[in-house]
Amino acid sequence: MARKVKDTEDLPKAKINRSSLKKAFRLYEYIGPHKWKLYLGLFFLLLTGGTALGFPMILKDLISTIELKNYDKINNIGIYLILLLTFQSVFSYFRIYLFVNYTENTLASLRRAIYAHLITLPMSYFVQQRVGDLNSRMSSDISQIQDTLTTTIAELLRQVILVIGGIIFLLVISPKLTLMMLGIVPIVAIAAVIFGRFIRKTSKEVQERIAESNTIIEETLQGISNVKAFANEFFENARYKRSTEEIVKNAIRGGKYRGFFASFVIFCLFGAIVSVIWYGIHLASLNQLRVSELFAFILYSAFVGVSFGGIAELYAQVQKAIGSIERVFEILDEEPELLSINEHVEITKRIEGTVSFENLAFTYPSRKEIQVLKNISLSVKKGETIAIVGPSGSGKSTIVSLLLRFYDPESGAILIDGIDARKYPLTELRNNMAIVPQDVLLFGGTIKENIAYGKPNATIAEIVEAARKANALEFIDLFPEKLETVVGERGVKLSGGQRQRIAIARAVLKDPSILILDEATSSLDSESERVVQEALDKLMVGRTSFVIAHRLSTIRKADKIVVIEKGQVREAGTHQELMQLENGLYRSLTNMQMELV
């Protein structure tokens, strides 16, 4: 079953300490010329918080006009309230606009940096990573960072301003009432937040049980023929029944908790507010507090209580964001290959194509207990066709991976034109090579774009000529849109043989000195294989070609056939020479395939 990309709600949190904060501040490197937007946004944030704190005071003055019977000031105070509301609206607009602006530009730079770094990482990194996890870092983690930079941090700072400013105003109005409020309301508010998060967790468990029951339905219906063939209707029904019983049990437990939570809110939270109001009225009765001041005090108490509760939730979001930042920078901290990715590099130095493997040994980093290649020695002249055959797992594809420098050997060397392959710039080396794999991956664009992948700056004439040489033009011309035909995701709209010919055209366009054919015809039917093989024969002319093949009938014309077994060269020679070896592995494999035909 496909692994689901993490939702931002499921992202793990990170502890906030000096180390994690230091990593978080690395984001600052990607702000670039947009720093002033951040600073100006923070300034408007302060103004937004300040104007919000001014409302209760002005409302207090408005109510005091009734107490003091000074009605002449009502209109003026009303104007002040409208002006304050206007200023806060303007400040809020600029604060949100600036935070979004600097965040989007920062994250665009970060996304580009991550992607550019990701595609330059060595194959050893991708072998040990799951595509779903990497995709999650590029989507869910970046989204979490985006939400935090755009909204959460600004809101957290605003809540802190409201708490600190609110407490100061509360102390100014009534120190006695403030001490009572601070002893009750924040504690109850925090308890309510913690209780609320617990309720959400139990609700999430119910949703997970429902998802599991839906999975049972999906699996049963997809495999209904197996269910009926094995007469397992009773088993599947019992399985679904157990799943629904779990849903009921979890939902009832969640209902109890929600009932407790509702009772808690009604009694404790509202009880705390009632207590503050009662004590405030008591002070008013002793002439220690005016009614207008009590009204302002209640508003500031609400600010402080709500902000306290909000801070706890926002802090959790910041923890998630820091965790996301750490996971994103794990990619950026990986050691990349030295590649040129800022511009297309033309082949300025063509290699001749002479290849020599000298005592090559290799072990995959992820499987260090198994040595895949052992002292492989092999010489290939310019323009020769070398076929590499052997049982599955013998190390054939590993030789190709080392030739392309997806990995470097642990000992020995690959010499190309007499020079160690590790001394060539990677981009230059790979620009002189092309591969036609067994499973061709086409990108979801047009046929023209997929062929041009071999040479991004190719002209239409060059693309058409490459398609003709690959025997692809005959089916391309049958499509109404010809080269502009969209191939679909991974090339699903084309047959296997058509995809292979597109891959060959891509290799033709690249015009490599060294060609690698990795079982390029093994998955095709006889007719498609014939057409593709004709195109491959044309492509190999004048190039050093390495052919990995299971179908031994396709490599009989090779200049040399190398038989690999358990990571070592077992036999080498032409088809005729190898067939004359008694008890030879190549002869045995050939006879076996002929018997199966």
Closest listed residue to residue 67, CA positions, set 297, 292, 293: 292
595/287: higher pLDDT:
287
Residue 4 predicted with pLDDT over 50: no
Using a pLDDT cut of 90, give the percent of the chain over it: 4
Q: What is the pLDDT of residue 44?
A: 92
Section 366-385 average pLDDT: 86
CB 280 within 8 A of CB 179: no
Out of 7-11, 171-175, 178-182, 462-466, pick the least confident: 7-11
pTM of whole model > 0.75? Answer: no
Distance in angstroms (rounded) separating the CA atoms of residues 474 and 471: 6
pLDDT recorded at residue 340? 65
pLDDT reading at 443 higher than 90: no
* Tokens 């009662």 found at: 278
Residue 3 has a pLDDT of 40
Which band of pLDDT confidence, cut at 50, 70 and 90, is reported for residue 435? confident
Q: Which residues contact 293 (CB under 8 A, 6 or more apart)?
A: 60, 173, 174
Alpha-carbon distance of 550 to 524, in angstroms, equals: 12
Specify the length of the chain in residues: 597
Q: What is the mean pLDDT of residues 238-252?
A: 85
226: pLDDT strictly greater than 50:
yes
Instruction: Give me the pLDDT at residue 40, please.
Output: 92
Q: For 50-74, what is each residue's pLDDT tens digit? A: 888 888 888 888 888 877 777 777 8
pLDDT of residue 126: 81
On the question of pLDDT at 342 being above 70, the answer is: no
**What pLDDT, on the 0 to 100 scale, is given for residue 490?**
66
Residue type, 433: M
Looking at residue 90, its pLDDT comes to 93
Lowest pLDDT segment from 10-24, 253-267, 274-288, 484-498? 10-24
Comparing CA positions, the residue from 446, 434, 456, 457 lying closest to residue 508 is 434
Of 159-163, 419-423, 521-525, the range with the lowest mean pLDDT is: 521-525
Residue-averaged pLDDT of the chain: 82
Question: What is the pLDDT averaged over residues 566-594?
Answer: 83
Say yes or no to pLDDT of 290 above 60: yes
Contact, 145 vs 264, CB < 8 A? no
Which 3 state secondary structure label does DSSP give 400?
A: helix
pLDDT at 10 over 60: no
- DSSP-assigned states of every residue in 144-190: HHHHIIIIIHHHHHHHHHHHHHHHHHHHHH-HHHHHHHHHHHHHHHH
Question: Quick one: average pLDDT of 470-486?
Answer: 85
Contact in structure between 141 and 327 (CB atoms under 8 Å): yes
- Interatomic CA distance for residues 84 and 78, integer angstroms: 10
Amino acid at 477: D
**Is residue 5 very low, low, confident or very high in pLDDT (cuts 50, 70, 90)?**
very low
| C-alpha 440: how far from chain center | 24
Query: Which ranges in 452-548 belong to alpha helices (H)?
Result: 460-469, 473-476, 496-510, 526-540
The arithmetic mean of pLDDT across residues 309-326, rounded, is: 80
DSSP line for 273-305: HHHHHHHHHHHHHTTSS-HHHHHHHHHHHHHHH
Smallest CA-to-CA distance from 577 within 592, 567, 590 is with: 590
Average pLDDT over residues 206-228: 81
Task: List strand residue ranges (DSSP E) for 531-590, in order.
Answer: 544-548, 560-565, 568-573
Contact call for residues 331 and 418 (beta carbons, < 8 A): no
For residue 416, what pLDDT is reported?
A: 92
Phi–psi pair at 415, nearest 5 degrees: -100, 130
Residues of the chain with pLDDT > 70, as a percent, come to 92
